[in-house]
Amino acid sequence: MKQKSSYTWLFPFLVFSYFLSDCKSSKKDIQTSASLISTDWAVYGGNKAGNRYSHLTQINTDNVNQLKVAWIYNSEPLSPAKGHFEMECQPIVVDGVLYATSPLLKLFALDAVSGVKIWEFDPFKDTSSQITTSRGVAFWENGDDKRILFTAGSSLFAINAQTGKPVENFGRAGKIDLHVGLDLNYDVSNLYVAATTPGVIYKDILILGSAVSEGGDAAPGYIRAFDVLSGKLKWVFHTVPIPGEPGYETWPKDAYKKIGAANNWSGMTVDEKRGMVYLGTGSPAADYYGGAREGKNLFSDCILALDAQTGHLKWYYQTIHHDLWDRDIPCPPNLATILHEGKKRDVVVQATKDGLIFVLDRDSGTSIFPVEERKVPTNGLSGEHPWPVQKYPVLPLPFSNQVFTDTDITDLTSESHDFIKKLFDSTSHADKFIPPGEKATLLYGYNGGAEWGGNAVDSDGILYQNSNNGLWKLQMEPYSAEIKEKRYRSEGERIYVTNCSPCHKLDRKGNGTEIPSLLPTSLHLNEKEIFDILQEGRRRMPSFKQLRSEERTALVQFLLNKKVDHEKSGTTNQVKYAADKKKAFPYFPKFHAKTWEKVYDQNGYPAIKPPWGSLSAIDLNTGKYNWKVALGEFPELTKRGIPVTGTENYGGPLVTDGGLIFIAATRDEKIRAFDKKTGKVVWEYPLPAAGFATPITYEVKNKQFIVIAAGGGRGLKSSGKYIAFMLP
């Protein structure tokens, strides 16, 4: 906590002055006053260890039920005409000023006491919008030079934290292109590259991951470091190694020339004492089929420890060999100190999509608890090379479902049970590592287990982990089947089937939640807006710059059920299209997902028995669970006398020394506080939209605040509101 000022009596006068005047000097006075008396949340994840933990105790189990709304800031008035958006941002607070982003990626600064805007920066003011996900921002300072580093679209910006203006000597007029450093072997300028989670800062270096496509057109997922002052590239770590680098032998020869992804999209943590950065990587391209990438495929699906100054590899730990299930490492690792077998151990703690927890020695990467390698099925698709063994931690036990069995089938009603039983009888589901095939597979582990919201670790070494139990259906088919075997009413339909139907389905209806309908009645967009999204991407949807302009036009016409003149558009030659595609794509897979969707009963409820979402307290010292409870509810089911089921949840927890865990994340649009000793709900509040983000806490002028971004989305209503809570 920063030293308290003897001049705190000035603060009410300064706040009153701010409301009387819009002058810049008043804003500066508020920032200066607040800086003397605040306890910050200055880093994404609360600290550089990523523990989402606060020592603050003013709000505690005795008084949390008295919390009230302190302020609400609407960062972006939204309307259905603007489309459906999400807001996953976890703000930071530095010297009493809160920094965050809106659903349309405007960066803003607020007075953290009043919620009044100080400044706003629009990254797309003078260019076309590239709406990607923003989960937070990074702060750096050296004396009076204070900067916010944040990403929007395919750009990294450096913004003056006091004025909201771009730092002119950073990159080109305050920004750099996120494609830099990825063009080792081929032109990546038209490939989708963004950064959804903020990087970490070590001294004067920003270390950053990236979000890329998950198909054959994926850009390389290299880890990069940039000079905070100039924006210049400092180092690059190749997640698909080049000749002479460790791990090159775990791929076919020259795989780095065509295989992309293996990227860190979920964030990092830093041990400044050791000078090391820790992170997790995702699966290699393309998802669900690895015929062109025989081997273990280092450094995909790895926990990595890198020298923060140079990018040199210290150690790695691969959680999935030759990933065929899109089991990316979905959240930043935690750095903790535990007491194991009577000795203090500095550890890296990593939760995974498939509900596992790896606890590794921070210096060596060896597991603290036993981990077994067991044989798994290897009957893959033609040309596939499934790895024969996979890892199974003995402790802690998994925090989410692992294998779908007939005892897991929903029993909400007999009709629901029978509905899912028919699907169960016609699919594969006997092992979590069944290779994807042309027969449909039911599996867990795509949307958690753990997700990007991460988890929290308190000073006692207790891990608080929220989780999903989501069942998905996956069915593969040859990638060229449509071109070879089907006839299309238009070129736009063929392009849609090839590029869009694996997610949005052949009928264009999506799944109603994460994957929206693309029927004309659902789009609420005009031709130009759709074309721009296809070109630039939006949120989790990558850009389709690899398609020629006339192909995007044909696709737009198809989506809007309009006719297109194929002779003028030049899109009639399928043979030419296929040849161009191979040139444009670094890797053109043999198979792709024909069906990839979440499984529900006939009434829209999850196909499995509850809990559908949970919150667990896991003692990292012993690997044992303290408690596990359902997280969220469907009120209509609760009214029927059904025990609380939990809901799908996105966003993570915050734990405090006040004995509380704060978490929103649920589809019932509430934020809750749990007693961290018992797992009982001790406070809840209905939000204006779902809080699919991670809450923060901070203290200014002896007042502790809790703040959450209530952005909604994922099939629910959208919002641009941030809400702060405090005691009376």
DSSP state of 605: S
Indicate if the pLDDT at residue 713 is higher than 80: yes
Rounded Cα–Cα distance for residues 198 and 200 (Å)? 7
CA angle, 674 then 680 then 683, to 5°:
50
pLDDT at residue 585, as a whole number: 53
How far apart are the C-alpha atoms of 515 and 492, rounded to whole Å?
20
Tally the C-alpha atoms within 13 A of residue 269's C-alpha that lie toward its C-beta.
24
Query: What's the pLDDT score for residue 555?
Result: 84
User: Is 510 inside a domain boundary?
Assistant: yes
From start to end of 580-688, where are the E strands?
591-598, 613-619, 624-630, 654-656, 660-663, 670-675, 681-686
pLDDT 10s digits, 21-64: 334 333 333 333 333 345 999 999 999 999 999 999 999 999 99
Name the residue with tokens 């759709």: 530
Structure confidence at residue 3 (pLDDT) = 39
Structure tokens given for 501: 């139907």
Q: In this structure, are residues 320 and 301 in contact, taking their beta carbons and an 8 Å threshold?
A: yes
The reply to whether 534 falls in a domain is yes
Q: Over the chain, what is the mean pLDDT?
A: 88
Local confidence band at 539 (pLDDT 50, 70, 90 cut-offs)? low
pLDDT given for residue 140 in this prediction: 98
Residue 299: pLDDT over 70: yes
Q: Is 178 exposed, middle or buried (0-12, 13-18, 19+ CB in 10 A)?
A: buried
- Residue 581 has what pLDDT? 41
Name which residue leads in pLDDT, 687 or 491: 687
Residue 488 lies in a domain: yes
Residues 138-195 have pLDDT tens digits of: 999 999 999 999 999 999 999 999 999 999 999 999 999 999 999 887 888 888 899 9
Q: In this predicted structure, what is the pLDDT of residue 295?
A: 98
Q: Looking at the 3D structure of the chain, how many domains does it have?
A: 1
Of 513 and 660, more confident: 660
d(CA 517, CA 512): 7
In a domain, 528, yes or no: yes
The pTM score is: 0.88
Which of 420, 390, 415, 386 lies closest to 405, judged by CA? 420
Residues 129/104, Cβ–Cβ less than 8 Å: yes
Asked if residue 410 belongs to a domain, the reply is: no
Between CA 532 and CA 541 the distance in angstroms is: 12
What are the pLDDT digits (tens) for 115-125? 999 999 999 99
- CB-CB contact of 631 with 469 (8 Å): no
The first and second tokens of residue 709, run together, are: 């971004």
pLDDT, one tens digit per residue, over 200-259 is 999 999 999 999 988 888 999 999 999 999 999 999 999 999 999 999 999 999 999 999
In a domain, 111, yes or no: no
CATH of the domain at 499: 1.10.760.10
Range of the domain at 540: 480-587
Q: Phi/psi at 674 (nearest 5 deg)? A: -110, 145
Tell whether 56 is covered by a domain.
Answer: no
Q: Grade residue 521 by pLDDT with cuts at 50, 70 and 90.
A: low
Of the two residues 523 and 441, the one the predictor is more confident about is 441
pLDDT greater than 80 at residue 676: yes
Task: Judge whether residue 2 has pLDDT over 90.
Answer: no
Residue 543 covered by a domain: yes
Predicted pLDDT at 338? 98
| Other beta carbons within 10 Å of 629 | 16
Q: HSE of 156 in the Cβ direction (CA atoms, 13 Å)?
A: 31
Model pLDDT, residue 657: 97
User: In this structure, what token pair is assigned to residue 727?
Assistant: 């005691």
